[in-house]
Structure formats: structure tokens, C-alpha cells
Amino acid sequence: MHVKTYFVLIFFGLWARSTIAQMPFSSQEATDLQKRAKGIEIVKDTYGVPHVYAKTDADAVFGLMYVQCEEFFDKVEASLISRLGRTAETEGESAIYRDLWSRMFIDSTQAIQLYKKTPDWLKKLCDAHAAGINYYLITHPAVKPKLLTRVEPWMILMNNVPAMGGSNVSEADFKAFYLKEANQNPTVSRSFTAEPPKNDGSNGWALAPSRTKSKKAMLFINPHAEYYGRIEIQVVSDEGLNSYGAPFLGQFNLFQGFNEFCGWMHPVSLSDAKDLYAEDVEKKKGKWMYRYNGVWKPVDSTVIDVRYKKGTGWATRKFVTYRTHHGPVVYATATRWITLKTFEPNIELLGMHWLKMKARNLKEFTAAINARAMVGSNVVYADKAGNIAYWHGNFVPRKNPLLDWKRPVDGTTSATEWQGTHELTEIPHYINPANGWLQNCNSTPLYGAGELSTEMLKLPAYMLPDGHTPRAVHAVRVLTPLKNATMDDVIAASYDTYLPSGERFIPSLIAAYQSITNDSLKTKLAQPIDILQKWDFKTDTNSVATTLTVHWLEKIIALDMARLPKPATTEEQYSLTNGAAVTTEFLSPMEQVTALAQVVTELEKEFGTWQVAWGTDNRFQRIAESDPSDDKLSWGVPATPGFMGSLNAYVSKKTAKTHKRYGITGNTFVAAVEFGDKLRAKTILTGGSSSDPASPHYTDQVNGYITGQYKEIYFYKDDVYKHAEKIYHPGDN
């Protein structure tokens, strides 16, 4: 035995005996996990990107989870805690209703039963998921979890709780219904205070060989999300796994990614299986009943105790929750209780994501997604054989096409029930379209191949709830002329500086300015209007016109929303806040001009002048405590929010302590992939691969992130070793 290895084993044994009393692991478990870890190799390349090599898929998952914990243990734990419905135990009373929501859809008892039913091959991956996290805890005794000192294999199966806002339910309305602890008389809500979606979204593109210089298919993966919620990683096993991409922290599938044969991208879709039902309820003989097909049926009730942190101790809030055959009651109107019907195939969803990671061609990939277990996401695909494809949604129920499914439908009749499931071939889709490219930017599939698809217009309206977003308009504009494209051309197209909403709205503002007779306003705004008149509708860090327009349009969107009836659901609200339905048509010239005057005044207050370059106002900053500061290092960013039509959607926000705006969501893991005889890909990650401020990989990707100068990845093992910065086994460091 090597002397160094000998002393490491002695140290490990002494450490295990001295700390096992504080950790929920036996010495045998620790020893077994250590032996397992020795068969897993992690190679971090010169960008800090980890590559995990293992004999089995399960061991690759072990290594994947260990690496996630190395960089973002707090976020991995928070993801699991949220899934368990136990966030209030770490955050206190403010999280009670989020926990209640989660527990109404699945609890630990149900998850344990699901685990028992899980196929053996998938159960091994669940076991490995827990083992990788647990081994990190064992080998890092200085890390103090907020709540979870041990992860169990069944926890990953609590992976399919629908998002509250994404389910057309606001937390305010949900809370109003379940507000009373005793809950004998649930509170009617319905002011509809849905939280507006962030102006970000995602872009997915696929180019056929007819459009590329190499005559190979390309995929562009461009999710926009909250920063630092995923990592860039490659996982490889001797069982045929070799995938590169980005998992959500706490999960073991690469949600966006590729292997040597094909790649996948999942933009969020409004085409989903989350529907609201309006229930007719009455209290009869002290028990809640609901009417269905003329018969009164009992409302099911379940008591849920939510534990929460209170001061230095704990408290518990008891809730009586309600459910009909449609699903849990999630809020109420003046006359009806509203239930949420959704689809929760936890085992199938987990398996589907893993199988598509190992698909080698269109047939295998289609077979994987034909599980139809994914709700609320589209699929963009490209492969080595030159195929490109798109599916608008995955699990889409058959519904009455005459009903408005963005709003609650009548729950008193079987006429509104789902009537089975659409096949993949029945939902909006494209396979190898003649134009040679596909796009989706959280948008309608009607323009997925550029031209309006008249055939898709014949499909049921519930399949086509999404609008033609400003980002989709921009995508069609840059993809239509793209020929003989290289990966760099595709990346450059995604950074195109043209802003469709600038060209759409600024002429209206200029006309409004010219029509008003208020001399003081005319004088105040003469110079800003002059700058806007000369603007070419392109953004850059020196552009004052971009600053004026972004701030102004934010106010116009607020005014536009205020004049409309309150949206009934988050789906209706999304169509407003994403910019597709914004209009100045119903705003008076004075309202438009006054909004610009307010922008000028606010900029003067914050900066001492209204002539503020966009890069001065709009900043990227990466700091460990996530507390932006004008006094700390930051970079100017030319990208704008999605409502401007910026493909590189960048959402920045001013805080009470800052004058400038700092990014909170935008590009996370982005990849341009070419499927040739040998795979090539260029990627970028927000900031860098490391979460350690002392690491050179904390901000080494910032400039490329801002300018679109992406790094070429190392995919093949020989290349990875040639560019290895660190090679180790889990637990070595």
C-alpha cells in the first residue's frame, strides 16, 4: 500500500470514530461509502468544470451529487428541504404556506411508497443520489446543515410538486383560504394578486445541416433562470452514459444538455396539465360537500401539521386541507372553491429524464420522452444524424376545446374532465422542417419554423396558449437569414443587440411628445426625445437611449396592466408581463410623456444626471453574500430584460442600498453544440464554475458571459486529461 494512502486511511478511521456520535451514519456505512468513492474519479479542467468518471451509472450519480455539494451544499440542501415541505423549519413563519402547498401534493409517506415501487435500475440511482450527498457530509464535518443531517433515497422522488405561481395560483390567495389555524371556515379570497413572472424566459434553437457550414446539425441551449441554481458538468460511466450539461441543484438528471449523439433543451411552456376547477360546495350536517353530476359528494379533508422555526425554538401550525377528486382546494372565490388538477408521475418523470440522457438517436430519444411525464416544458432536439425536432409540451391532456383553460372551468360536471392524453404525434411539433431551423422562446409553436403554421392553427386552442413573445420575434429575425452558420455565428445571433420593443414603442412616444402642448414638459424632455429619435434601437453599454427606454417601458407595462381588468390567472398575467400583449394604444399621449418625465427625474436623483449609459446603470456582480453594492467590483452589461426582445435576456434590479441595477436572472448554462463525427460545443456559465470567491474560477467567465465569447469544452477523456487542473476521488480533498 502506498504510504500516503495508508496514512489517509488511518486518518479517516480516527476521524470516523471520533465524529460518528455526532453524525447519523455508522462506521460501517462510512467505510462502505469510502470504498465506493475510490472507484469514482473527478477531473476538474482548466475552467474548473468537473468531469465524473465511474464504472456504473449509479456511481456517476454519486460523484455528480458529491460535486454539487462541494460547490453549492446550501442550495442542494435547500432544494431537498423545499421538496420535503420543511422550509419553514429553516426560514420561519414566512415559509409556512409554501410548505403546506408542497405537503398537499406529496409527503414523505407517499414518497417512501413510491420508492418501493421504483424499478431496480432507477432505485439504484436514487440510492446513489442520497449516498453522494451523505458522503459529502461524512467527509466534511465542518459543514453544518441547516436541517438535513442525512439524505434518504426516497427524497429525490418528491420531484414533481407543481410550482404555485406556475399553477395559476398566487401565494396570497392560497394563504387567504388556509389562513385560520382551526380552519373551520376557510377564508374567501380572490383579489388575484399573482406574482408577475420575471422578464427572462429561455431560448432553444436547432439548426439542420442545410443551415450550417459543417453540414452538421446544431443545438443552442439557452435557459434563463435565477443565478447559481445549476452547475456545468460531464458524467460518464462504463454503462453507456456520457452526458454533458446542467442539472438543477439537488437533482441528478442533466435537465439541459447533450451527449455525443443528441442534445435536448426544455423551454418553459404554458401548454401544460395544470388546470383549475370551480367547485360548488356547501356545508351539510357539519361536513363540507361538493356537487358533481347532480350528486353531493364529501370533500376529503386531511390534517397537516407544519412545523416552523420560532425564535430559538419550534412551533407547529395545524391545517385542515381539502380535496375533491380533481385535486386539492387551492383558493376560493365569492361563490366557489377552486381545486387544482395536475399530473404527478414522479417515478416516470425521473426515469424519462435519465433515459433521454442515454439516447443515441431520434428513435431512442422519442421513445424516452414518449413516457409523456413532463408537465410545463417544451422539447428542442438535434442529433448526429442531422435531425432537428420540436415538441410543444410533453404531457398534454385531451380537453373540451370550447372551454377557456387559462381560467377555472366548471367542476360540477364530468363534461369538463380530461379525456385521456394526446400522443406525441398529436401535439404541436416539427421534425426536420423544410426551412432548416427551429426556435422556441417560451412562445407559441405557430412560428417555430419562422412562417405561421396554418396547420397548427387547426389544433385545439388549449394546445396554443403561448404568445409570440418579443424574444421569439427577435429569434425569427436572426435565424431566417442565417446560412453556413458556425457555432460562433449562432452564439453571435443570440447576442444580437437589436431590441424589437424599442422599434415598436419609441415612435409612439415621440409622436405623443410632439402632440402635447405642455411647455415645461416639452422643455424638460427635449434632449431625451432627441436621443431617442436618433437611436438605432440597438443596445450597448454606452447607450443612453437603452437606459431611457428600459425604464420607460417598465412604467408603461405597469400602466398598461393597471388599465386592464385584473387577470384571472398567472397565465393571463404572463401574456402581459412578458411584453407580447403590451400596447400604448389605450394610453394617452400625456401618460406616455409623463412616464418618461418620471424616468428622467428618477435618473437625476440616483445619478445626478439623466444621461446615464446603460452599462453604468445595468451591472453584473458576483458576491458570496448576494448583497449587491455599488462599492464592489462589477461589470457593465449591454443585455436587457426579455420584454425588450433581448434574446440574451438579462433582468437587473435596483436595491434600497444601490443606485445601479444588478443582475438577478439571465443566462445560466448556455451551450452551442455541433453534432459531427466528433462532437464540439462551446459553453458559458454565469460568472464561473466555482462558488468560492477565492478561486480563479469564480469570475473567470464573466467577460465571455457578457460579450458572448464562449469557451470550447473538453468532452473526450483524452482532452479532459490534457487540460486537467485537479484529479481526485470524492472525499480526497
Instruction: With a cut of 80, say whether residue 581 has pLDDT above it.
Output: no
pLDDT given at position 18:
35
Of 649, 609, 507, 648, which Cα lies nearest the Cα of 198? 649
Instruction: With a cut of 70, say whether residue 573 has pLDDT above it.
Output: no
User: Model confidence at 194, in pLDDT bands (50, 70, 90)?
Assistant: very low
Instruction: With a cut of 50, say whether residue 7 has pLDDT above it.
Output: no
* 661-667/618-620 β-pairing: parallel
Instruction: With a cut of 80, say whether residue 46 has pLDDT above it.
Output: yes
Higher pLDDT, 225 or 134: 134
Which tens digit of pLDDT belongs to each residue from 684-721? Answer: 999 999 999 999 999 999 999 999 999 999 999 999 99
pLDDT given at position 586:
77
User: Model confidence at 14, in pLDDT bands (50, 70, 90)?
Assistant: very low
DSSP 375-394: -SB-EEEEETTS-EEEES-S
| Annotated domain spans of the chain | 166-195+274-342+394-419, 500-664
Q: Is 236 left (phi over 0), alpha (psi -120 to 50) or beta?
A: beta
506: its cell numbers = 419609441
Question: What is the spatial distance between Cα 618 and Cα 613, in angstroms, rounded to a whole number?
Answer: 9
Listed range (58-67, 566-575, 579-588, 657-666) with the worst mean pLDDT: 566-575
Which tens digit of pLDDT belongs to each residue from 461-514? Answer: 999 999 899 999 999 999 999 999 999 999 999 999 999 999 999 999 999 999
pLDDT given at position 566:
63
Are 164 and 174 spatial neighbours (Cβ–Cβ below 8 Å)? yes
pLDDT given at position 557:
86
Are 99 and 178 spatial neighbours (Cβ–Cβ below 8 Å)? no
pTM (predicted TM-score) = 0.93
- The stretch 441-448 carries a mean pLDDT of 96
pLDDT given at position 491:
98
Question: Which segments within 529-668 are labelled E, that is strand?
Answer: 618-620, 635-636, 651-654, 661-667
Annotated binding residues for Ca(2+), written as ranges, equal 171, 272, 275
pLDDT given at position 400:
96
- The stretch 579-601 carries a mean pLDDT of 85
Report CA Rg, the chain: 27
Percent of the chain with pLDDT over 90: 84
Which tens digit of pLDDT belongs to each residue from 279-312? Answer: 999 999 999 999 999 999 999 999 999 999 999 9
Contacts of 183 (CB under 8 A, 6+ apart): 319, 320
Secondary element (H or E) of residue 593: helix 589-607
Percent of the chain with pLDDT over 70: 91
Secondary element (H or E) of residue 491: helix 487-494
Of 445, 468, 550, which Cα lies nearest the Cα of 506? 550
DSSP 402-454: TS-TTSPEETTSGGGS--SB--TTTSSEEES-TTSEEEESSS-GGGTTSS--T
User: Model confidence at 578, in pLDDT bands (50, 70, 90)?
Assistant: low
User: Model confidence at 182, in pLDDT bands (50, 70, 90)?
Assistant: very low
Backbone φ and ψ for 355, nearest 5 degrees, come out as -65, -35
- The stretch 511-529 carries a mean pLDDT of 96
pLDDT given at position 6:
37
Of 161, 77, 160, 154, which Cα lies nearest the Cα of 111? 154
Listed range (239-243, 267-271, 485-489) with the worst mean pLDDT: 267-271
pLDDT given at position 115:
97
Higher pLDDT, 695 or 164: 695
Write out the catalytic residue numbers.
Answer: 202
The CA distances from residue 597 to 76, 154, 302, 548, in Å, are 45, 57, 55, 10
User: Model confidence at 22, in pLDDT bands (50, 70, 90)?
Assistant: very low
- The stretch 201-219 carries a mean pLDDT of 96
- The stretch 514-520 carries a mean pLDDT of 94
Which tens digit of pLDDT belongs to each residue from 77-118? Answer: 999 999 999 999 999 999 999 999 999 999 999 999 999 999
User: Model confidence at 584, in pLDDT bands (50, 70, 90)?
Assistant: confident
pLDDT given at position 167:
78
Instruction: With a cut of 90, say whether residue 8 has pLDDT above it.
Output: no
Are 334 and 190 spatial neighbours (Cβ–Cβ below 8 Å)? yes
Instruction: With a cut of 50, say whether residue 21 has pLDDT above it.
Output: no
Instruction: With a cut of 60, say whether residue 12 has pLDDT above it.
Output: no
- The stretch 440-462 carries a mean pLDDT of 96
Which tens digit of pLDDT belongs to each residue from 359-408? Answer: 999 999 999 999 999 999 999 999 999 999 999 999 999 999 999 998 99
User: Model confidence at 187, in pLDDT bands (50, 70, 90)?
Assistant: low
Secondary element (H or E) of residue 105: helix 96-105
The CA distances from residue 568 to 173, 193, 571, in Å, are 12, 9, 8
Question: What is the spatial distance between Cα 380 and Cα 512, in angstroms, rounded to a whole number?
Answer: 42
Calculate the average pLDDT of the chain.
91
Higher pLDDT, 180 or 113: 113
Sign of the dihedral defined by the CA atoms of residues 408, 414, 420, 422, in that order: negative
Sign of the dihedral defined by the CA atoms of residues 229, 268, 251, 723, in that order: negative
- The stretch 176-198 carries a mean pLDDT of 59
- Sort 481 into a burial class: Cβ within 10 Å, 0-12 / 13-18 / 19+: exposed
**Domain 166-195+274-342+394-419 = CATH 3.30.43.10:** no
CATH superfamily of 500-664: Aminohydrolase, alpha-helical knob region (1.10.1400.10)
Q: What share of the chain is helix, strand, coil (3-state, %, to 5)?
A: 35, 20, 40
Contacts of 92 (CB under 8 A, 6+ apart): 308, 309, 310
Alpha carbon 50 to its chain centroid, in Å, reads 22
User: Model confidence at 570, in pLDDT bands (50, 70, 90)?
Assistant: low
